[in-house]
């Protein structure tokens, strides 16, 4: 497709389990972002990838969170030993370049529910 694709759309899992969320950015976009949106809240920056540079992990809330971007395209956000406070919508976005005026194109997000 032409847009940012995220999977799964919804994920329900038990506390303590590990989860993987996938993001497939728009072809040709070198910048990729992960955000977390808790219920009724704005977006919280998690991590940023730009080309082959080291990712900016400054927004990751704990060491249970990690992300990879293989081949400069698809990215996976992993949450280990999930907690109930991890329940949120996780949004991925991509853009052409790092330049600040480039708009970010968002996927539909993954709604994660921790029981």
Binding site for another protein (CB under 8 A): 3, 33, 35, 40-45, 48, 50, 56, 58-59, 89, 91, 93, 98, 100-101, 103-109, 111
Shorter beta-carbon distance to another protein: residue 14 or 99: 99
* Assigned token pair, 19: 């989860």
Contact by Cβ (8 Å): 32, 9: no
Shorter beta-carbon distance to another protein: residue 40 or 71: 40
Shorter beta-carbon distance to another protein: residue 13 or 59: 59
Contact by Cβ (8 Å): 3, 92: no
Shorter beta-carbon distance to another protein: residue 15 or 98: 98
What is the sign of the dihedral through the CA atoms of 70, 54, 5 and 45?
A: positive
* Residue 79 C-beta: closest distance to another protein, Å: 19
Q: CA 93 from chain center: how many Å?
A: 8
* Residue 81 C-beta: closest distance to another protein, Å: 25
The closest of 107, 27, 38 to 73, measured between CA atoms, is: 27
């Amino acid at each position: 497709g032409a847009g940012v694709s995220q999977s799964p759309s919804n994920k329900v899992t038990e506390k303590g389990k590990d989860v993987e969320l996938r993001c497939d950015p728009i072809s040709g976009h070198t910048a990729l972002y992960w955000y977390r949106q808790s219920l009724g809240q704005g977006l919280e920056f998690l991590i940023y990838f730009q080309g082959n540079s080291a990712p900016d992990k400054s927004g990751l809330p704990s060491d249970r969170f990690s992300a990879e971007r293989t081949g400069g395209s698809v990215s996976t956000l992993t949450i280990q030993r999930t907690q109930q406070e991890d329940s949120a919508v996780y949004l991925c976005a991509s853009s052409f370049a790092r330049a600040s005026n480039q708009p970010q194109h968002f996927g539909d997000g993954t709604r994660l529910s921790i029981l």
